[in-house]
Amino acid sequence: MAALNYNHLRYFWAVAHEGNLTRTAEKLHVSQSALSIQIRKLEGQLGHPLFERTGKQLVLTEAGRIALEHADAIFSAGGELLSMLGNRPGTRRQILRVGALATLSRNFQMAFLRPLLKRDDVELVLRSGTTTELLHALESHRLDVVLINMPPLRDAGTPWISHPIAEQPVSLIGAAAHAGSGRGLEELLTSEPLVLPTLESSIRIGFDAVIDRLGLRVRIAAEVEDMAMMRLLAREGIGLAVVPPIVVRDELAAGTLVELAQLPELSETFFAVTLSRRFPNPLARELIASFSPTPHDDAG
């Protein structure tokens, strides 16, 4: 195989960051046709298309995203060489782009990412958003893995791979003043106001089923989408929060919140969602394969 033509790579690199062929040609003082030819030559050598056109915008393909990561590393190393004028070898930093549901437990996210947090050869890019936003970014190769708590629907057009990576029990969590009352689960549920997740939450779906099976009527103080806000409301004594203990791990350790009872047969499952790719990010595979929450993480 012929050696890589770095002029072709630099033209591709410039277009990839600009996202527009015409503007890039103007900045580089070359014709648009000449720029297109250089990129087509690089695609021919690599054997994969690097861009697809969406309207007037050029969007990277999966192969294009991988080529851009390597180009970033190559030209960054060249800049370091010019500035240092030395021979010290550099190490290429690997990049992992992780998206997480905005309402997902931060403690759980940290537990998932912890194996990579102190690695000098890894750069993490973290994003949050709705499930729809995150899956769209995953499909367009702007994310490598998405953390959510409900698996997305899969069909022939959306080949998601949902890896169940952890299951957390769900409990009634309250302010420290509730400790030692001796009340059982059913009495707590019927006598105390509750802070619940919203109706779309997998926890709420399961909780409503539990209440129906027990034949109980409950009083709802608040319905909250964000787990962090549920924690704050529980600390203020607004009501008992229905959450996995990992969400309030620090407050349980400090004694500001207490776990009063576990809800039977109710848990939250966390999923790492990837896309079926020809070139999967090895860091995502590594995390998913090795992840197991420690007892400290599970216990809260």
265 dihedral zone (left: phi>0; alpha: psi -120 to 50; beta): left
Instruction: Outline where DSSP puts E strands in 130-256.
Output: 145-148, 160-175, 193-197, 219-224, 240-243
CATH 1.10.10.10 in the chain: give the residue spans: 6-84
- Contact present, 155 and 128 (Cβ < 8 Å): no
Q: What is the pLDDT along the chain (300 residues), one digit of tens a residue?
A: 568 888 899 999 999 888 888 888 898 899 999 999 999 999 999 999 999 887 777 888 989 988 988 888 788 777 655 654 544 444 456 888 999 998 888 888 998 999 999 888 888 989 999 888 999 888 878 889 999 988 888 766 677 899 999 888 999 999 988 877 778 899 999 999 999 999 888 899 999 999 999 999 999 999 998 888 998 999 999 999 999 998 898 899 999 999 999 998 898 889 999 988 777 888 999 899 887 654 334 333
Mention every residue, 6+ apart, whose C-beta is less than 8 A from residue 23.
none
Give the type of residue at 182: G
DSSP 3-state assignment of 150?
Answer: coil
CATH 3.40.190.290 in the chain: give the residue spans: 167-269
CATH 3.40.190.10 in the chain: give the residue spans: 94-166+270-299
Q: Which one is the CATH code of 94-166+270-299: 3.40.30.10, 1.10.580.10, 1.10.10.10, 3.40.190.10?
A: 3.40.190.10
Q: What topology does CATH give the domain 167-269?
A: D-Maltodextrin-Binding Protein; domain 2 (3.40.190)
Model pTM score: 0.65
- Contact present, 99 and 127 (Cβ < 8 Å): yes
Q: Which one is the CATH code of 6-84: 1.10.1040.10, 3.40.50.300, 1.10.287.1770, 1.10.10.10?
A: 1.10.10.10
